[in-house]
Structure 1
Amino acid sequence: MKLKYFILLIVLASFGAIGYGFSIQEETEALSHKFIGFGTVGLFLVAMPLFLFKESKGKKMKDYMLTEENIRRMQKKEMEKPENQ
């Protein structure tokens, strides 16, 4: 199974658990809080890190960090802009 589909499965299951937790909130409040909590954990502690890992493969992290070289490059680009923009 591709990682993309696994992440999608986790996201859909998490949203389903959150929705189910809100729908049964009147009957069993403790169980509904568990479903909502597990859905939230699935989204933010499982699906999001897996997505970030999948999308950042092969990219240089140095390009996204604020280093001295990148600051100079940004300042140089700002100076090259025409005055009317």
Structure 2
Amino acid sequence: MKYLILFCFIASATSIICGLALEVSFAEKLVGFGTVGLFIITFPLFAYYRWKDRSLKDYMLNKENLDKMRDSQKESKY
């Protein structure tokens, strides 16, 4: 998965750079396809890869987590 994400990123970045650097008739399409590849394919794959084993409950602001935050702030002040 890591290598697929890296390949997609390099392909998208190369497409964008070639579209900006080369003076061909389809340069705008290269930039467009590179941008779409980056934001529609590469970023969701990266986000899934990085967050697949984590619990969303750890990042939600509920009463228990707010109490933990308050307790840790009180302890760090002393």
Q: TM-score, normalised on structure 1?
A: 0.82
Residue 40 (1) aligns with residue 35 (2): yes
Which consecutive residues of structure 1, in runs of 5 or more, have no partner in the other structure? none
The structural deviation recorded for 1:72 is: 1.2
Match of 1:68 in 2: 63
Q: TM-score, normalised on structure 2?
A: 0.89
> Cα RMSD over matched residues?
1.3
Identify the structure with the greater helix proportion. Answer: 2
Identity across matched positions, percent: 40
Deviations, residues 47-76 of structure 1 (Å, cap 9, x unaligned): 111011111122111101222211111011
| Distance (whole Å) between structure 2 residues aligned to residue 18 and residue 44 of structure 1 | 12
Output the amino acid matched with 1:69: E
